[in-house]
Structure 1
């Protein structure tokens, strides 16, 4: 086991020295066994989302695909069981995620070793494909244990070690972002650790922004925060940007990484700078926690171990000072400030050596603890499960969605104001109560005339007497109407139409009928006095004819003229003479 470990370290050292010959970026990071398995799980879940509609995958399917992946990449005979469905798409998604994250795995390093080694000084193949398969599968660590591909149930005794492994991954992820800003898994493990109110919804919004901009998650988040900080009409993101809801948490996250970048550029000694970076991450994790908290204890132990490892790497010259001089972040000749461009180079090389050593660590024995969504809660209410973070909050049910036209029409129907349609009252409506108050009661309008108008006084008494006599003359019509009113009164007042208390419904109905008849009689009398209907114009009265006897020559005329004239006869006589 010791020889295999030393050979793996030699292989990675040669790759790091000569990687500029085969890779475009010198800050390429390496995924170990655990990182490769987590990436494979994400690739399988993505393929399942495209074909089955659900972003999830069974643990047994991941372990089967894991063996096929290792044997195929190492060019070894395949296992005796069949490949999983859509295996070619899964392999393509896995390689694509590695390329997008500017990372490689240990199998890729073994494949590139023949191109990178120097024939004279470097040894031949230090690790065989079979040894690499046994190491990545976890079979070379302890031979007595059964195959590690069989998942076991997490127990309470393994919880402290699981918390420590999760905290160690968070430390290495923060340091990895200083080396490789395209590492999406590192951002997923650190975005909400400690709690910044950046849960699955915030991570999904950041993932969509990165997809739309064809960039990494870290660069998408950083670009958004920089645009908010610059402000102004031409720089600020629009109000419709989903990341607007997470400005505070994203700003805190970017600000902490800016603080780490300042430490990286200010401290010239690589060992001291690495120790300060680890101390800053430890202070962030233990802030607000008690001394007996599990995360706090794991953070203290992990920080101490990483500081010791950095000191040993610096002492052994693993940062590459004795190599060819090729190192990450090499400044260009036309750099404006050459000294500033050189700042932090040695520390970045030291951090890369630290991350390479972490990638060569033995794989996790319990694959269920590594891949299960039941991860330890380091902050907030959710665990640090990568699969749970990459899953969108809206989980598909598997059924086809409703057509867009139907959804739009349903939404318009909900927003359209609905007019209240009054129902038709039946003949039995008097036996039910109205649900709403009648309009006359809400507006407090009087339903009947005041009592002084209903009581006949003066000349209206005769009218009432005449109406009563008329009703006695026509007993058939009036009495039948009274019987109907009386029957309605016997049934009781209809809801919402009669006030409680006072006169009964029958008496008020008779009084209103008599009042209407009196008003009609008054109108008829007034129309007779004016000589006709009220709508016809008044006619002039004809003048009375007056016969006037002219005085004649007959006898007795003088006697007739001597008679006394009536009043106005003389005027009329004079009128006719003219």
Structure 2
């Protein structure tokens, strides 16, 4: 396996040296075996959605299409099982994704090598059958003669047992890949919410729809939106109804982090120092807020040390090649129309080293567990549960009401309908919610607010008041109405000997205490006439009674009161006297 890996590196080296002859961009990145499989999964899901299905695909369909794809592109005999129903559309969607993201796969590298190789290069370092076996993950690949290219630690087969470590390493390489190739949508999908920036499926779907409407890459869509928010005025800022407005903070943090990486890339000329600074910045973002014993923290620390050491090795190898023969991997050539050539040349050596590092990562043997790769690609990296690339590209489902509810919910709804409903009671007061059904009605509560104000009727009956002589008809009416009023307010008054005057006293506890003692008993009408302090007591009694008792809303009747020998006047009264009116009448009779 190590020998074929070295031969693949020779093939990629020739491609990097001569790719400017067939490609428009010299920063085209390469998808390895795992990346190719993930892209194929997205292509199948997209075709299924276009033909009336859902954006999903079974693992068996992906593996079946994977073999057909490799054999067709390598021009080998097809397998002995049938293709998928829409295989041609799947292949077209796969190739379209590669072209749109400015990437190529290893099969394309082999095809272009035959066109780009020189006479001094090997005629065919890897045969199509050997490349098929390598991409399929078979370990029974025939050994080839050893190559002159030195082996590297990253070219060795790494076990795929540690899913967290592989995911962390993939995130590191995706950040570096996005830094070199801004059109790589797969790299953006793997990094946009790692670490967590509150950019989940809904945010990614909004970005994807905006990119499709503008016919641009995902990263260019995000950058354009953030720049318009930061620098645009009222006429250039995005509209308030723009779906990306809901994710301004997360998108700004993501663009700011990429800006920091680009600043490091352009300012530090030494590739070894610059590469170490880039890897350290990515590690700091991943381990922020995590304890030292966390699995992601440990994997990030280990990956950082490995990448730093490999970047230094690649830099030394390229320096030796450049000083010796003068031939090597050509860096990105600056354009003649650049305003400042310093900015065009800034970071060229670092870009060359990072490109060689990413090429080596693309030549890593495929992961043995395809289910883990396609289902949980980012476990515990974004703060909560992991999310696979397929679920990230799938738009959130909108409830239409057509699909039936789960059986448990339907059973519970049926049971709720069968439960007897309580009968609706009559309209109650706005304060009825504060009372229990077992409590007294509202009028009883208002009539006796507290137990301390309930009349006990235990005091001895006061002496009957002697009233002046009045008309028989009027006096009899007044006495009957006053007696009826006192009887309705306290039925026990007749048994305890209460008279009319006692029934009209205030109900407050203080008023009862003032009138309870034998020294405070009321005098007769003749005695009250000659003493002014008694008049004040009658006034205070009248005020207390009117404050504590609700007035009766009934019409007054004109009653003439006659004194012996002269007529005092007419007293206005109701058919039923209001509270305290009897005492007031007796006061004016004097």
Q: 2:107 maps to which residue?
A: 107
Residues 319 and 353 in structure 1, CA contact (< 8 A), matched pair in contact too: no
> Which among 356, 364, 367 is matched to residue 364 of structure 1?
367
For 1:130-529, what aligned pairs fall within 5 Å after superposition?
130-140=129-139, 161-317=162-318, 321=322, 327-373=330-376, 375-394=378-397, 436=427
Cα distance in 1, alignment partners of residues 268 and 402 from structure 2: 57
Residues 319 and 346 in structure 1, CA contact (< 8 A), matched pair in contact too: no
Cα distance in 1, alignment partners of residues 366 and 82 from structure 2: 25
Residues 28 and 180 in structure 1, CA contact (< 8 A), matched pair in contact too: yes
> Is 1:11 the equivalent of 2:11?
yes
Q: 2:548 maps to which residue?
A: none
Write out per-residue CA displacement over residues 268-324 of structure 1, whole angstroms, 9 at most, x where no aligned residue: 001111111001101111111101000000000111111111111111118984665
What is the CA distance between 1:37 and its match in structure 2?
0.2
For 1:64-83, what aligned pairs fall within 5 Å after superposition?
64-83=64-83
What is the CA distance between 1:435 and its match in structure 2?
5.3
What is the CA distance between 1:140 and its match in structure 2?
2.8
What is the CA distance between 1:203 and its match in structure 2?
0.6
Residues 45 and 56 in structure 1, CA contact (< 8 A), matched pair in contact too: yes
> Is 1:23 the equivalent of 2:26?
no
What is the CA distance between 1:398 and its match in structure 2?
12
Write out per-residue CA displacement over residues 74-113 of structure 1, whole angstroms, 9 at most, x where no aligned residue: 0000111111111111100000000000000000010111
| CA 333–398 in structure 1, closer or farther in 2 if over 3 Å, else same | farther
Cα distance in 1, alignment partners of residues 204 and 140 from structure 2: 36
**Partner SS state of residue 30, structure 1:** strand
What is the CA distance between 1:329 and its match in structure 2?
3.5
Residues 378 and 384 in structure 1, CA contact (< 8 A), matched pair in contact too: no
Structure 1 gaps, min length 5: 144-157, 401-431, 439-456, 459-578
Write out per-residue CA displacement over residues 456-497 of structure 1, whole angstroms, 9 at most, x where no aligned residue: x99xxxxxxxxxxxxxxxxxxxxxxxxxxxxxxxxxxxxxxx
What is the CA distance between 1:375 and its match in structure 2?
4.7
Residues 183 and 220 in structure 2, CA contact (< 8 A), matched pair in contact too: yes
**Partner SS state of residue 122, structure 1:** coil
Residues 7 and 126 in structure 1, CA contact (< 8 A), matched pair in contact too: yes
**Partner SS state of residue 94, structure 2:** helix
Q: 1:123 maps to which residue?
A: 122
Cα distance in 2, alignment partners of residues 77 and 253 from structure 1: 46
Residues 265 and 347 in structure 2, CA contact (< 8 A), matched pair in contact too: yes
Cα distance in 1, alignment partners of residues 207 and 319 from structure 2: 36
- Which entry has the higher C-alpha Rg, 1 or 2? 1
Residues 33 and 136 in structure 1, CA contact (< 8 A), matched pair in contact too: yes
Cα distance in 2, alignment partners of residues 374 and 347 from structure 1: 29
Structure 2 gaps, min length 5: 143-158, 404-422, 430-472, 475-590
| CA 229–329 in structure 1, closer or farther in 2 if over 3 Å, else same | farther
| CA 318–33 in structure 1, closer or farther in 2 if over 3 Å, else same | farther
Write out per-residue CA displacement over residues 167-222 of structure 1, whole angstroms, 9 at most, x where no aligned residue: 00100000001110000010001001111111111111111111111000000000
| CA 104–129 in structure 1, closer or farther in 2 if over 3 Å, else same | same
Q: 1:503 maps to which residue?
A: none
Write out per-residue CA displacement over residues 245-266 of structure 1, whole angstroms, 9 at most, x where no aligned residue: 0000100000000000010011
> Is 1:84 the equivalent of 2:48?
no
Q: 2:51 maps to which residue?
A: 51
> Moved runs in structure 1, 4+ residues, more than 3 A?
318-329, 395-400, 432-438
**Partner SS state of residue 376, structure 1:** coil
| CA 165–374 in structure 1, closer or farther in 2 if over 3 Å, else same | closer
What is the CA distance between 1:380 and its match in structure 2?
2.6
| CA 320–179 in structure 1, closer or farther in 2 if over 3 Å, else same | farther
Bigger shift: 371-380 or 196-205? 371-380
**Partner SS state of residue 104, structure 1:** strand
Cα distance in 2, alignment partners of residues 220 and 203 from structure 1: 11
| CA 13–300 in structure 1, closer or farther in 2 if over 3 Å, else same | same
Residues 330 and 352 in structure 2, CA contact (< 8 A), matched pair in contact too: yes
**Partner SS state of residue 162, structure 2:** helix
Cα distance in 2, alignment partners of residues 101 and 83 from structure 1: 27
Q: 1:513 maps to which residue?
A: none
Cα distance in 1, alignment partners of residues 252 and 333 from structure 2: 29
| CA 98–274 in structure 1, closer or farther in 2 if over 3 Å, else same | same
Cα distance in 2, alignment partners of residues 91 and 434 from structure 1: 69
| CA 96–389 in structure 1, closer or farther in 2 if over 3 Å, else same | same
Residues 9 and 357 in structure 1, CA contact (< 8 A), matched pair in contact too: yes
| CA 232–22 in structure 1, closer or farther in 2 if over 3 Å, else same | same
Residues 17 and 323 in structure 1, CA contact (< 8 A), matched pair in contact too: no
Cα distance in 2, alignment partners of residues 230 and 390 from structure 1: 30
What is the CA distance between 1:436 and its match in structure 2?
4.6
Residues 372 and 385 in structure 1, CA contact (< 8 A), matched pair in contact too: yes
Cα distance in 1, alignment partners of residues 401 and 124 from structure 2: 49
| CA 374–348 in structure 1, closer or farther in 2 if over 3 Å, else same | closer
**Partner SS state of residue 104, structure 2:** strand
Write out per-residue CA displacement over residues 141-192 of structure 1, whole angstroms, 9 at most, x where no aligned residue: 689xxxxxxxxxxxxxx99610000000100000001110000010001001
**Partner SS state of residue 121, structure 1:** coil
| CA 308–225 in structure 1, closer or farther in 2 if over 3 Å, else same | same
Residues 160 and 368 in structure 2, CA contact (< 8 A), matched pair in contact too: no
Q: 2:575 maps to which residue?
A: none
